[in-house]
Amino acid sequence: MPSRDRTPCGLLERVGRYYADSFHRFGCTAAGVDWPSAESQRRRFQELLRVTNGSGEFSLNEYGAGFGALADYLHEEQIPSAYRGFELVPEMVEAASARHAQGCGCRFVGNREELGPADYTVASGVLHVKLDVPLAEWTSYVRVVISELASLSVKGFAFNLLSTRVQPERRRAHLYYADPVEVSTFCVEHFSHQVTVLDDYWPHEFTVLVRLSDG
């Protein structure tokens, strides 16, 4: 999540309580981090990691690490990486650290300032849930988060958002929907001309890959 001095007062606390409630109810599961299934969670990891271009070993930040499911995925798929995860909810940081205490070299932190630059930074789902925050305020928050992803990355970063292409009657009031063209234009104008939008895996969501160098 972005630094607190750049975020509207109370916003992070409210979002943190939302996810803490899910985690208290469902624990270290996809539902515990507000995903419908482990399969959909893993599919998002696949799309986000396309930013690495299948390169060799790399360092990776995860912005919104939950209980460490991406670290599990990297281990299961034998993807060589040095992983660091930042998570807002203290209980999730504690659980992730305990689950990955042995062998994998992962590190989880609850303070954004402890998350230094890495080759790549990814964020899955951290921009989806706006609760009842006004649309303009959340859109500004989204741009702050994207800027922080860029500042934490050397070679590239990736994130996902729900799409405004979802029919209005199917949208949920507490979720945030973004225009893929507007988001990609923002990234091109501020970070890199190497921007790819992946919108062919589900109709309701898209992933943005921003490559900052040829790596």
Question: Domain range for residue 182?
Answer: 4-211
pLDDT per residue over 152-170, tens digit each?
Answer: 999 999 999 999 999 999 9
The pLDDT confidence band at residue 1, using thresholds 50, 70 and 90, is very low
pLDDT tens digits along 192-206: 999 999 999 999 999
In this prediction, residue 3 carries a pLDDT of: 46
Tell me the CATH number at 100. 3.40.50.150
Give percent of the chain above pLDDT 70: 94
Give whole-number Cα distances, 94 to 34, 87, 97, 117, 122, in Å.
Answer: 18, 10, 5, 22, 21
Is 160 within 8 Å of 206 (Cβ atoms)? yes
Q: Residue 11: what pLDDT?
A: 86
CB atoms within 10 A of CB 202: 16
Q: Domain count for the chain, please give it.
A: 1
Count of positions (residues) in the chain: 215
